[in-house]
C-alpha cells in the first residue's frame, strides 16, 4: 500500500486540497462527485497511486461565493489543477459529478491513456434528473430542502461511510456549490456536454452499480457506446451508487484495468 500525502495549496486565489500517492505512470487522476471529496478515493490511491483533488466547493477546497460551480468551471479547474501538479498525461477515473473530467478529456483526448467511468452523471441524451436534483434545481425550494438537511437524514440517504465522510464538509459553501451546479445543468445541457465523447478513443472500463437510485444502469452501456475506443462494461447488479462499497472486488477489477 502506497502512503497517501495530503496537500494544502492555493489555485486561482482559492484554497486547494488534494491527495497524492506514488504509483505507476502516467498517474491516475481521480475525480469525485456530489456531495463527497477526495476522501472516497483513499483506498484507490493506496493501490494505484495518483492524484485526487477536492473539487472547488467540496471537502477542504475553496468555497467562495463567487466561484464558478458549473460544468464549464469544473472543466477549467481540471486543466488548471493538472498544470499546477505538472502532470501532462493521466489515467482518468470519474464518479458521479466527477464526469466533469470528461469535458476536459473531450478537449484533450491525447492526454488520457485509460478511462474508468463509475456511475457517472450521464453526459448523454435521455437522462432525467432524479427527484432530489429536481428539487435542488427549483429556486427557493432548493435552498429550503438542502438547508434543512440533518446528519440523521444524511445517513438515511447515503451509505453510512459516505455520510460520515461528507457530513463534516457539508457546509453552506458546499450547499451553494451543489445548487449552482444542478441549476446550471438542465438535461439538454448534459447531452450537449457529451457530444464529443467519441473523441476519447483510449481503452475504457464502465463500472455501474445496478441498484443506483439516481442513475439508471442503461447509461452504463450508453457511455460505452458513446466513447470512441474499446470499452468494457462491468454491471454490478447488487451494488449501489458507490459500487465499490457494496462490492469490494470492484476495486480489484478497476486496479487491474488501470495497471494493464
Specify the pLDDT at position 152: 87
Specify the pLDDT at position 148: 86
Cell 464518479 -> residue = 95
Specify the pLDDT at position 230: 95
Mean pLDDT of 52-67: 96
| Beta strand pairing call for 90-96 and 50-53 | unpaired
Model confidence at 192, in pLDDT bands (50, 70, 90)?
very high
Q: Among 93-107, 114-128, 134-148, 244-258, whose mean pLDDT is lowest?
A: 134-148
Please give the backbone phi and psi of residue 8, each rounded to the nearest 5 degrees, phi first: -120, 105
Q: Which CATH number fits domain 5-9+19-259: 3.40.50.720, 3.40.50.2300, 3.30.710.10, 3.40.50.1820?
A: 3.40.50.1820
Q: How far is CA 126 from CA 32, 95, 122, 142, 196, in A?
A: 23, 19, 9, 23, 16
Q: From CA 171, how far away is CA 167, in angstroms rounded? A: 8
Q: What is the pLDDT of residues 204-231, one digit of tens each?
A: 999 999 999 999 999 999 999 999 999 9
- Whole-number average pLDDT of the chain: 96
Specify the pLDDT at position 156: 86
Q: What is the pLDDT of residues 158-178, one digit of tens each?
A: 999 999 999 999 999 999 999
Model confidence at 150, in pLDDT bands (50, 70, 90)?
confident
Mean pLDDT of 143-150: 89
Query: Where exactly are the structural domains of the chain?
Result: 5-9+19-259
- The answer, yes or no, to whether residue 116 has pLDDT greater than 90, is yes
Specify the pLDDT at position 235: 98
- The answer, yes or no, to whether residue 157 has pLDDT greater than 90, is no
pTM reported for the whole predicted model: 0.97
Amino acid at each position: 500500500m502506497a502512503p497517501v500525502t495530503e496537500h494544502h495549496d492555493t489555485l486561482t486565489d482559492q484554497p486547494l486540497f488534494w491527495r497524492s500517492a506514488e504509483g505507476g505512470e502516467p498517474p491516475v487522476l481521480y475525480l469525485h462527485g456530489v456531495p463527497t471529496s477526495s476522501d472516497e478515493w483513499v483506498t484507490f490511491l493506496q493501490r494505484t497511486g495518483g492524484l485526487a483533488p477536492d473539487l472547488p466547493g467540496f471537502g477542504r477546497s475553496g468555497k467562495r461565493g463567487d466561484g464558478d460551480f458549473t460544468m464549464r468551471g469544473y472543466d477549467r479547474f481540471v486543466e488548471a489543477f493538472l498544470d499546477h501538479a505538472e502532470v501532462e498525461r493521466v489515467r482518468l477515473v470519474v464518479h458521479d459529478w466527477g464526469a466533469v473530467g470528461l469535458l476536459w478529456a473531450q478537449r484533450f483526448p491525447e492526454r488520457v491513456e485509460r478511462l474508468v467511468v463509475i456511475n457517472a452523471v450521464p453526459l448523454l441524451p435521455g437522462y432525467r434528473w432524479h427527484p432530489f436534483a429536481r428539487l435542488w434545481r427549483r429556486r427557493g425550494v432548493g435552498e429550503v430542502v438542502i438547508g434543512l438537511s440533518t446528519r440523521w437524514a444524511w445517513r438515511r440517504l447515503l451509505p453510512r461511510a459516505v455520510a460520515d465522510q461528507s457530513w463534516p464538509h457539508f457546509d453552506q459553501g458546499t450547499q451553494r456549490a451543489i445548487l449552482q451546479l444542478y441549476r446550471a445543468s438542465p438535461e439538454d445541457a448534459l447531452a450537449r456536454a457529451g457530444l464529443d465523447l467519441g473523441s476519447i478513443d483510449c481503452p475504457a472500463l464502465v463500472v455501474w452499480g445496478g441498484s443506483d437510485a439516481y442513475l439508471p444502469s442503461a447509461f452504463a452501456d450508453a457511455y460505452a457506446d458513446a466513447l470512441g475506443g474499446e470499452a468494457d462494461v462491468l454491471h454490478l447488479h447488487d451494488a449501489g451508487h458507490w459500487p465499490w462499497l457494496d462490492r469490494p472486488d470492484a476495486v480489484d477489477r478497476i486496479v487491474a484495468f488501470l495497471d494493464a
